[in-house]
């Protein structure tokens, strides 16, 4: 009987040890290393995500990561105008803007390569599930391609399907030269124009229903008035700042010319119109054909 009791205790101990071993194995967390973020869908050419931005077929939320150098945060009013513009032309009703302050660049000018480096270093928002992420950097430096002697003062540029830079310091300098135009006006026009290219305008991912692309200025409209007019980018020089001086493999599909834009906005105000021009009927028709919200007057 004593021998049976000892045998029973030994078996019981072995079962206890086995259970303890299994419990420790299952309770320990598995360290698979850092989570890998898929950035590939945010590293495409400008206009490649036009339908995704305009429609809700794949993404029903728009997350805008608005980074800005210290002291150069955009105005709340301009960002509200920008959201109204997005809701007017897209089916996105769920739009979230997250602001993140960055250290000053301590640079007088920035090349497109340097802007891209800053994005790779600071961007945190990428497409995730049904959320489409956009990155905008409001810079404390001017574009490296600016040339006042030739009338080139760049306000903004797009260089990927979800990437944009706004030269906030230049916007403030330019707006300060006018009695009729404010920072809000120039910020709104710049944001809306550049995002028009992320919409795929003109012929940059959204195919025109009717031909209205300026033959002398690729991806810009030839109709007056229109937010996407070629003159707003090139001005009298008919050249783009980044395409002249930036020899990197990156390409800016648009570098908005501040001097020409200011002139056009002052002309609009002098006629009693809103400073920021809207999209003409042809551009609105193109957006609707690529999944955008139908225009009220279409």
At 225 the pLDDT is 85
214: number of Cβ within 10 Å? 18
Q: Taking the domains of the chain in order of start, what are their residue ranges? A: 40-289
User: Residues 120, 244, 201, 271: is their CA dihedral positive or negative?
Assistant: positive
At 275 the pLDDT is 87
pLDDT over 90, % of the chain: 60
d(CA 119, CA 129): 21
CA angle, residues 47, 289, 250, in degrees to nearest 5: 5
At 160 the pLDDT is 94
In CATH, what number does 40-289 get? 3.40.390.10
At 25 the pLDDT is 45
Average pLDDT, the chain: 84
Residues 243-269 have pLDDT tens digits of: 433 434 676 767 677 777 888 888 888
d(CA 291, CA 278): 19
Strands (E), the chain: 61-69, 94-102, 109-110, 131-138, 142-143, 154-160, 163-166, 254-257
**How confident is residue 273, by pLDDT bands cut at 50, 70 and 90?**
confident
d(CA 284, CA 175): 28
pLDDT at 31 exceeding the cut of 60 = no
Residues 89-102 have pLDDT tens digits of: 999 999 999 999 99
Residues 115-170 have pLDDT tens digits of: 999 999 999 999 999 999 999 999 999 998 787 667 678 899 999 999 999 999 99
**How confident is residue 237, by pLDDT bands cut at 50, 70 and 90?**
very low
**How confident is residue 75, by pLDDT bands cut at 50, 70 and 90?**
very high
pLDDT at 52 exceeding the cut of 50 = yes
d(CA 291, CA 182): 33
pLDDT over 70, % of the chain: 79
**How confident is residue 82, by pLDDT bands cut at 50, 70 and 90?**
very high
At 248 the pLDDT is 45
Where is mean pLDDT largest: 5-19, 32-46, 267-281? Answer: 267-281
d(CA 112, CA 187): 20
At 247 the pLDDT is 39
């Amino acid at each position: 009987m004593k021998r049976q009791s000892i045998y029973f205790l030994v078996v019981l101990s072995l079962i206890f040890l086995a259970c303890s071993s299994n419990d420790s194995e299952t309770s320990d967390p598995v360290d698979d290393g850092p989570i890998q973020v898929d950035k590939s869908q945010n590293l495409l050419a400008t206009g490649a995500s036009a339908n995704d931005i305009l429609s809700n077929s794949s993404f029903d939320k728009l997350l805008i990561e608005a980074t800005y150098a210290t002291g150069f945060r955009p105005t709340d009013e301009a960002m509200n105008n920008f959201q109204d513009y997005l809701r007017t032309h897209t089916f996105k009703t769920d739009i979230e803007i997250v602001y993140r302050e960055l250290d000053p660049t301590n640079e007088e000018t920035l090349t497109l390569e340097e802007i891209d480096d800053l994005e790779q270093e600071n961007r945190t928002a990428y497409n995730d599930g049904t959320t489409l992420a956009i990155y905008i950097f409001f810079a404390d430096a001017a574009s490296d391609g600016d040339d006042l002697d030739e009338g080139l003062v760049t306000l903004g540029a797009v260089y990927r399907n979800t990437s944009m830079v706004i030269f906030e310091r230049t916007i403030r300098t330019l707006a300060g030269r006018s009695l009729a135009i404010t920072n809000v006006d120039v910020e709104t026009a710049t944001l809306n124009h550049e995002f028009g290219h992320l919409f795929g305008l003109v012929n940059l991912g959204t195919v025109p229903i009717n031909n209205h692309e300026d033959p002398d200025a690729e991806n810009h409209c030839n109709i007056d008035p229109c937010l996407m007019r070629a003159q707003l980018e090139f001005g009298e020089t008919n050249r783009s700042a980044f395409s002249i001086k930036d020899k990197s493999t990156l390409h800016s599909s648009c570098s908005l010319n501040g001097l020409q834009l200011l002139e056009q906005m002052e002309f609009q105000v002098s006629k009693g119109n809103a400073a920021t021009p809207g999209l003409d009927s042809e551009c609105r028709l193109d957006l609707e054909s690529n999944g955008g919200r139908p225009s009220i007057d279409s």
